[in-house]
Structure 1
Amino acid sequence: MKIVGLMSGTSYDAVDVVAAEFTVEGDTLWLRPLGHRSLDHDEELRGEIGAVLPPAATTVEAVCRLDNRLGAVFAEAAAVGVELAGGAVDAVVSPGQTVFHWVDDGVVRGTLQLGSVARVAARVGVPVLGDLRAADVAAGGQGAPLVPAFDALLLAPEAGDAAPRAALNLGGIANITVVAPHAPVLGYDVGPANALLDAAARRFLDRPCDVDGAVAAAGRVHPGLLRLLLAEPYYAAPPPKSTGKELFHGGYLDDRLAALGEPVPVEDLLATLTVLTATTVAAECARHEVTEVVAAGGGVRNPTLMSRLAELAAGRWRLRTTDELGVPTQAKEAYAFALLGWLSWHGLPGALPSVTGAARAAVLGSWTPAGPAYRGGPAVAPPRRLRVRA
């Protein structure tokens, strides 16, 4: 089965596209990567997404326009995925752009992703899976993270394995999956990875990000600011938990700087935010006593962040990337969503209750049909009329 997976994360700078072929041999599912691309969002689209994100106010009109604009973008990305697969696929997974994750006293009440799935299905002519988080939320879960289903299979212990390992994703938010023999899989959002770094770069450098962590590398950690940031209650909350830019946004950073009451040079600010991410991630790895951390996501391209992580990992766990396991670091989440599509297609749950806190394991997403490739039951001829039988 060939599936295209799409992903636009909390950094909302691009849509990652992958094509994957899945085959089953006994109890092993084989993934053959067929290619991946990253298609950058233009400045106008990034501005439109940022304009609807909390804490900004917005309108239903703006949300509707953005939903359809993103749908067109994802449709073109899906077409690129079909090309990567050689011109034909069985399905597309388009999870959309998360614009709000409604958390009330630690309980997720709802979640909203934009990107008209009907436009994607119309463009590629195959069934498209969207709205992947809602089923888990309806079952009492966080609706996130969903990638641990992929991590659990990729890091599944072999006979004789005894130590826990972790998968780490460094996107806008850092999230971790802990896989240990004879134990439920754990996974949750740790805190900001690139979210606050990118917010600071936009605010003080007028750039979308600090490329290669170069400015952060020139700075020094500000101890007072770091203490203030580490006092965030989210870090102490027990899992299951999830977060996003509804908490860690530019306004959040402004509030902490105002509370500090003294100016912080931009290079020191970025250095401190880098260490914040490394410190919070390392604390969770130490808590679970992992022996290996396999990292992926945009943060892997930041050598300053990776070096801070490596310093904290020294002598405690091995740090490497998913590239060594055959999964490109920049495309891992898109491949994970392709896997969730395969699971859903076969009626298998994709969310892990031990991760999300749901009451039951949910089959994820809603399928949008497109053309004759999709059938929910046995083939029938189209009816010509409707009559009512008493």
Structure 2
Amino acid sequence: MKILVMHQVPYRKIDYQRAIDHGRHDVTYVGHPHRMADLPDGLRCTRLVLDPDEDLVAGVCARTSPADGFEKVLALSEFGIAEACSVRRHLGIDGPAPEQVELVRDKVRMKEALAGSGLRHPRFVREPSRCRPLPWTGRTVLKPRQGASSEDVTVHETARDALGAYWKLPDPGAFQLEEHIDGDILHADGLVQDGRLVDLAVSRYVNKPVEYAAGTPLGSHQEPHSPEQRAFAQRVVTALGIEEGSLHLEFFETADGERVFLEVANRVGGAAVVPLHEQHTGVHLPSHEIAVRLGLDRPATGRPSGRYHGWLAFPGHHLPEGTPAAITVPDSVRTHPCADRVHTLAPGRAAPAHVTYQEWEVPVFIEASHTDAGQLRRFLEECARTVTVDAGPQPAAERRVAA
């Protein structure tokens, strides 16, 4: 099979070799230089490197043609699945329609598509009027219609405040307003094949994703999932017409136990979702997704750990850019029975200025597990309270400029 891979997710997150026999198949990777640089040196493949600032679709189309004989296009990034529709059309390859992909990318369209499904979601307004108030008055969320990692998401105490912020945006049409829902946020991760959930794990967040952008640590931990939660996830899959691939669904659970849809993505979750899902279930989600999308046999499932797994990331993007992080991790955290791995940035290294959950980029990243989900949660909450990440001393050159 001749396969074109739009390479956007760090290779170590996907590990294409686990699903694709590069000796048997003719594989071409295409992407921007920083991402192509992480392909293994000995990987048998063709490499098409775009210019650093080149448009993804235009660059791929300029370097490929229907005569190349590609049979499949793989795009596993949140920011590539829509673009892959254009590439497939250019190459004459069948695939999901842009309208279908929009349902798992556009936060307005996905909620509109749930109409009549019986699934509750936050009330929302896609295009507010300057002449009318919102149909609710309390706390309100302003968020991009397309985005990830809670970037540019803000929570306002009143609907009026949120409307004021909306009209001040340079491109308000790229944003939406929705009512704030009180409750825990959970994420369901799994695999869809022929429109049916064939694998699922449910995790509960420690702190809220929107708080991470402001500098609060964020994590999650797996817990036993109920038949009702699985049924909820399947109803979302069915209502949105998701036919295949990984599922990353976020939803609320309110104090009275009601489940409320938040948003969904047809790709693997970020942070440590992939390795911890594999430890808990034995399923390496990217490999199984690739097999399903290419029409190959799914890989063998490994042995589940018998434990619940979790992670906790401490951000550094809110620190002064270029300033090394001053990190304190108590011995009680490092030696705790739940702690599996504590990753910290090398001394003197600054965290990236952008929002990231990558364990090798954030100042502190903790992986933990326990046979009891409650014990695991208490440990992660203790870590969130006791581990500190502050701004360290400025580099000497910057101190001289400041002086």
TM-score (norm 2): 0.26
The answer to which structure, 1 or 2, has the higher relative contact order (CA under 8 A, 6+ apart) is 1
